[in-house]
Chain A
């Protein structure tokens, strides 16, 4: 079965979504990532969506689920590289991606992950949409 590869970089996991995912592939990624976070005791997940041409409610829900799941497993998720047209469309669609942190590119996403996983336990405000 087709799968999206998950790269391991120390205590972080890195995923680059490069294909127009059909729904099952998105579900598989969600499951694989959850298992990988637990298995490697990952502290952070970086998802690069710069090649994604759309994010619909299904993919949006998957991304929000991954973020929520990673928090339960004591890891942070950062989404990087969302194209401006995709961001504009997401807002109009009505998706706010609650709990999903974003960064402009892989580099600043990694910095954010490092900062998040080094800072002590956060409070209530954690998870509010930023940027």
Chain B
């Protein structure tokens, strides 16, 4: 699945979260995802970008268009070199939060996207990769 097109954006501030939402919206619209799908992808982007800023101490997002057979997908990777997550299983649960949030960012994004993987190591950082297939 060699990416056709790729772009990297910094995710360090609240304004970067807005910029990430807008960039992903643009790509998803260009790829002709339905309005509901666009909304799901942009919402997941907002959640994961905010985690990168709030919990990961900032990082970046890599967006790319990928292909598998006849299917096109929008692939997003959120990466930071923050504190990592000690208990990923717990973090993936609805309502789990260490920051007084809703605890829906990770679990909700997983539901909103077709594929979701998380790699994290305490003291090294976190990498969340998601794809939405058309």
A residues within 8 Å of B by Cβ?
Answer: 20-24, 53-58, 60-61, 83-86, 88-89, 92-95
Contact = CB atoms under 8 A, between A and B. Distances in A.
User: Which size class do B's interface residues fall under?
Assistant: 20 to 34
Interface in B1-46: 14-15, 17-18, 21-22, 25, 35-36, 38-40, 42-43, 46
B39 A86 contact: yes
B14 A89 contact: no
B39 A93 contact: no
Contact of A57 (B18, B39, B42, B104): B104
30 contacts: A20-B21, A20-B22, A22-B14, A23-B17, A23-B50, A53-B25, A53-B39, A54-B21, A54-B39, A56-B46, A56-B47, A57-B101, A58-B46, A85-B35, A85-B38, A85-B39, A88-B36, A88-B40, A89-B40, A89-B112, A92-B40, A92-B112, A93-B104, A93-B112, A94-B94, A94-B104, A94-B107, A94-B108, A94-B111, A95-B104
Contacts of B112: 89, 92-93
Contacts of B15: 22
Contacts of A94: 94, 102, 104, 107-108, 111
Interface string B82-107: 00000000000010000001101101
Contact of B102 (A54, A61, A85, A86): A61
Nearest to B103: A57
Contacts of B94: 94
A89 B112 CA distance: 7
Nearest to B50: A58
Nearest to B54: A23
Contact of A93 (B17, B36, B101, B108): B108
B32 to A, nearest CB: 15
B39 A23 contact: no
Contact of A88 (B14, B18, B39, B104): B39
A14 B39 CA distance: 26
B46 A60 contact: no
Nearest to B101: A57
B43 A54 contact: yes
A129 to B, nearest CB: 15
